[in-house]
Amino acid sequence: MSLYKRGSVWWMRFTHNGKQIRRSTETEDKKLAIRIFDKLKGDIAEGKWFAHLEGEDNTFNDLMDRYMKEYSAVNKAPSSHLRDKGLEKHLRGFFGDKFLTQITSKMISEYKTKRREKGLSPRTVNYELTLMGHAFNLAMKEWEWVKDNPVMRVRKDRVNTKIERWLNLEEEKKLLAASPSWLQEIIIFAINTGLRQGEIMDLKWSQIDFKRKTIIISEQKNRSVDTLPLNATALGVLLKKKPSTIKPEKLVFINHLGNRIGSSVLIRAFHRAEKKTDIPKLRFHDLRHTFATRLVQNGVDLFTVQKLGRWKNTSMVMRYAHHCVESLRAGIEVMDTLKPPVGTNLAQGHTDCHPKPYLRLVSN
């Protein structure tokens, strides 16, 4: 048991039921702090003191340590866990040493404002708050560290959900010409499969069935397993890379050392190629949008696009709907094949299509 100073306020550190607890005396007066501490020790000895919520003694750093170790590392895909590491770094920088019960909605709102002032997009800040909110939910519902989740009372900023960029055929040709051969393979494969960056980088030979011309994808978000067809172009990329002896556990896309291509290496190479062209700003993820957009532009219905791209529902691919005028044309032309019943004016060649009034209006 001991007293120590935190800023200008005196704090108590002691052990209760095997747990180390820290508690503020809420005073800057050392003599008063000693008296408060002595009373607490007496209450503990007499069994009159009961521990409060652990959130009063655990900091935000404690919360994130447990969340990352017990939840993110165990329940999330490696790529998602890696993203969490990037998000939590900024959260720790602002909230790190604060005790959980000290963190308020006002404080979180201030954090959001400061992040936006630094030029962060609403989407990025929302991701950070989502991570923080999930950690607080676990602390509240499962770990019983706090009684409340202050993140739930903070409004998230509206995200611009306009249609993403996609490549036309001429832009694709320019991008490929500016890319090294290993990147060309990845770009072509991404455009023709709609796979996400992590799914391509983690793709193993065991997921490819050359006889059936299919690929098996384990969905990271909902843990489902999907078997998808491969077109001739995507299959051609795989056949070109296919080793004489396939080891199922080996990755398909590897660097010159035979290891996984790092995300940062891929993105740097992708942006170097992009800058060599006159193509407007493009992200690797826009290759997935290119896949969906081309399907829709060429008459593939949205339900099929949803299944091929593994979106949860058709509402998530509705942003591509404005591309599908030509795909709708086939539907409306069905009307031209339908003939009116024999005996109607149209069938008898009448051209007067104006309806006759049921009542004649007579002016007084």
Q: What is the pLDDT of residue 359?
A: 44
Say if CB 120 and CB 126 are below 8 A apart.
no
- What token pair was written down for 204? 């193993």
At residue 184, does pLDDT exceed 50? yes
Helices and strands counted in the chain (H then E): 14, 6
At residue 132, does pLDDT exceed 70? yes
* Amino acid at site 364: N
6 compared with 214, residue with greater pLDDT: 214
Q: What is the pLDDT of residue 220?
A: 56
Q: What is the pLDDT of residue 82?
A: 86
| Minimum mean pLDDT range among 77-86, 296-305, 354-363 | 354-363
Say if CB 266 and CB 184 are below 8 A apart.
no
Q: What is the pLDDT of residue 308?
A: 92
Give 283-312 pLDDT, tens digit per residue. 999 999 999 999 988 888 888 999 999 888
- Among residues 69, 57, 64, the alpha carbon closest in space to that of 134 is found at 64
Q: What is the pLDDT of residue 296?
A: 87
Give 138-169 pLDDT, tens digit per residue. 998 888 888 889 999 999 888 765 656 889 99
Q: What is the pLDDT of residue 284?
A: 94
At residue 363, does pLDDT exceed 50? no
Give 214-258 pLDDT, tens digit per residue. 999 976 555 678 899 999 999 999 999 999 888 989 999 999 898
At residue 43, does pLDDT exceed 80? no
Coil, strand or helix at 206: helix
Q: What is the pLDDT of residue 266?
A: 94
The span from the CA of 213 to the CA of 230, in Å, is: 5
> In the structure, what pLDDT confidence band is assigned to residue 14 with cuts at 50, 70 and 90?
confident
167 compared with 346, residue with greater pLDDT: 167
Provide the whole-model pTM: 0.59
The span from the CA of 1 to the CA of 325, in Å, is: 75
